[in-house]
Structure 1
Amino acid sequence: MHAESGKELPRVEAFEALYAMGCRPRHGEVVMIAGRSGTQKSGFALYWTAQMGLPTLYFSADMSAFTASSRLASMMTGDTTEMVEAGMGAGGRHRMEYLNALSGLPFTFSFGSPITWHAVDEEVEAWVELWDNYPAVFVFDNLMDFEGAESDYTEQMAVMSGLTELARATGATVIVLHHASDKSWEAKSDPWAPPSRDQIKGGLSEKPELSLSVALDPNSHEYRVAVVKQRMGACDPTGKRYASMRCHPEVTRFSKLERLAPVTPPAQPWSPTAILQKQGV
């Protein structure tokens, strides 16, 4: 376990811009993904863990079983969630196609709200009984859905300490989702920018080894990810420096953001530039 911890997690092609900024998520770390409401935090975590292909135990209090399975089926097939819902309802060949698409994913879900430590213990014991090892990744969606942690700062700090202990004891990467303030001046003046570290509720972004701040521009579907805390690398607490990628919420996918090069308009035939070009200058 100790030999494997600290190694970099498998890279995801869509996150190339994030890696280029010096972000290095590692095995055995506690990672926080924080953002305002409606910024596809759950979709980002689902896509990331599915693309890494590591055995994952996902605790979801924020998504229902229907939503999670529909998003994963949509991600794997490229069909929209509406198409997945229609196909599952139709049954027969369509249902089998979606079930087969999900069969190879190393995911185990635990649905229930609030998330309790008793439930976590039982799920881990069941996993060890079945596989004789620990999950490589835990995902907790989200921090404020832990029992007693809805608004109690002390309880939220206790949860973060518990998640750190879980990562240390199992060697697994622990990803926890959390909210940023929707009421700050920055949230109102620049809502599509990643929140700065001080906007993450409770100041809890200080605890993980890596804290990512996310935002989604609903007009262009540009997804922005800032590294506001990184213990072993570069970070920007203001969130002003961020990586951009393309979000496809209808299919729960992300891709590299291809920016078009600026086009220089052709010179008019009577302009000095055109005259010089004709003269070979």
Structure 2
Amino acid sequence: MLTPARSLALHAESGKELPRVEAFDALYGMGCRPRHGEVIMIAGRSGTQKSGLALFWVASMNLPTLYFSADMSAFTSSSRLASMQTGDTTEMVEAGMAAGGRHREEYLAALAHLDITFAFGSPITWQAVDEELAAFIELWDAYPQVIVFDNLMDFDGAESDYTEQMSVMSGLTELARATGATVIVLHHASDKSWEAKSDPWAPPSRDQVKGGLSEKPELSLSVALDPTSHEYRVAVIKQRMGPCDPTAKRYASLRCHPEVTRFSKLERVVPIASPSKPWSPTGVLNQKAV
């Protein structure tokens, strides 16, 4: 048993904010504070770059990371990272690796500094998690600081069983507590709801996340991609230690670059009145990017 003071002293380090990523400034501006040792869910409908966001996030922080990928192949994961680091498209990476020589060496060199270890295989089993963690500790003599599971429904038995999904979420919470690692889990939102059909490019609300499982983590992010403008919308639908909006009506906007698996600040063009005369709805407007 621990007194409140001793508990705070022992766990203050694990509650520190994660390193900030410049592209997420709009999200931080909403009061979102991802922290070490938390369970974080990224939820969205199919095809909304959930895996791309998770890859970009962990690569940008570059903390020691163990990434369980059941949703992407080994080549897809590594080629997206190479694309992210070099700015070349995944098609260019594939062609360069096939050509060999200088191109191959450049892509391999671009990945050399990344502190990410992948574990591939579907379904994800707890035995595999234990074995990969043991191998990680054997190699680095420490737990990973970030563990990513892509995704929740790829756990053994959790494809459609709500009870098993709840069990997995409990296991992820226990894993975060035992290791002190930030656990990021990807999950699906409904594609069949009325909101998904009427406003498919809006982040899904908390009640659209399958199984209602977004209520379990300390932080749950809801994401959506507008494919026409590449605006990427991120809503905080659950945050234990900060503001949130379960309806997902309030969201941060980023710019998504899916061809190179990158995200950046979204610059908006807004009208500004001419200094020589007052603004009018029919007048000629100056424009400025902010």
Residue 114 of structure 1: aligned partner: 123
Which stretches in structure 1 are left out of the alignment for 5+ residues? Answer: 275-281
Cα deviation, residue 267, structure 1: 8.7
Pairing 1:209–2:218 present: yes
What is the match of residue 277 of structure 1? none
User: CA offsets per residue over residues 197-244 of structure 1, 9 Å max, x none?
Assistant: 000000000110000000000000000000000000000000000000
Tell me how far 1:266 sits from its aligned partner: 9.9
Look up the match of 2:192: 183
Q: Which protein shows a greater Rg?
A: 1
Structure 2 residue aligned with 1:84: 93
Aligned with residue 94 of structure 1, among 103, 112, 115 = 103
| One-letter code aligned to 1:246 | R
The equivalent of 1:253 in structure 2 is 262
Paired AA for residue 242 in structure 2: G
CA distance in 1, matches of 2:235, 2:12: 29
d(CA) in 2 for partners of 1:256, 1:224: 11
Is 2:180 the partner of 1:146? no
* 2:220 maps to 1:197: no
Q: Which residue of 1 aligns with 2:173?
A: 164
Identity %: 84
**Does the alignment pair 1:130 with 2:135?**
no
1:33 to 2:33 alignment: no
In structure 2, what is the Cα distance between the partners aligned to 1:238 and 1:140? 25
1:75 counterpart = 2:105 = no
- AA aligned to 1:107 is I
Structure 1 residue 30 displacement after superposition: 0.1
> Counterparts of 1:45 and 1:241 in 2: how far apart (Å)?
21
Which runs of no fewer than 5 residues in structure 2 stay unpaired?
1-9, 284-290
Deviations 1:110-168 (A, max 9, x none): 00000000000000001111111100000000000000000000000000000000000
What is the aligned length? 270
Deviation at 1:4, TM superposition (A): 1.9
Report the Cα distance in structure 1 between the residues aligned to 2:106 and 2:258, rounded to whole angstroms: 21
**1:263: how far off?**
5.1
> For residues 64 and 144 of structure 2, what CA distance do their matches in structure 1 show?
5
1: CA distance between counterparts of 2:84 and 2:13? 29
Specify the alignment match of 1:219 in structure 2.
228
Q: Distance in 2 between matches of 1:171 and 1:182?
A: 34
Deviation at 1:3, TM superposition (A): 4.0
Q: Shift in Å at residue 2 of structure 1? A: 2.8
Q: Distance in 1 between matches of 2:54 and 2:47?
A: 14
Structure 1 SS opposite 2:139: helix
Under a length normalisation based on structure 2, what TM-score does the superposition of the two structures give? Answer: 0.91
Partner of 2:15, secondary structure, is coil
Moved over 3 A (4+): 263-268
Q: Which amino acid aligns with 1:83?
A: M
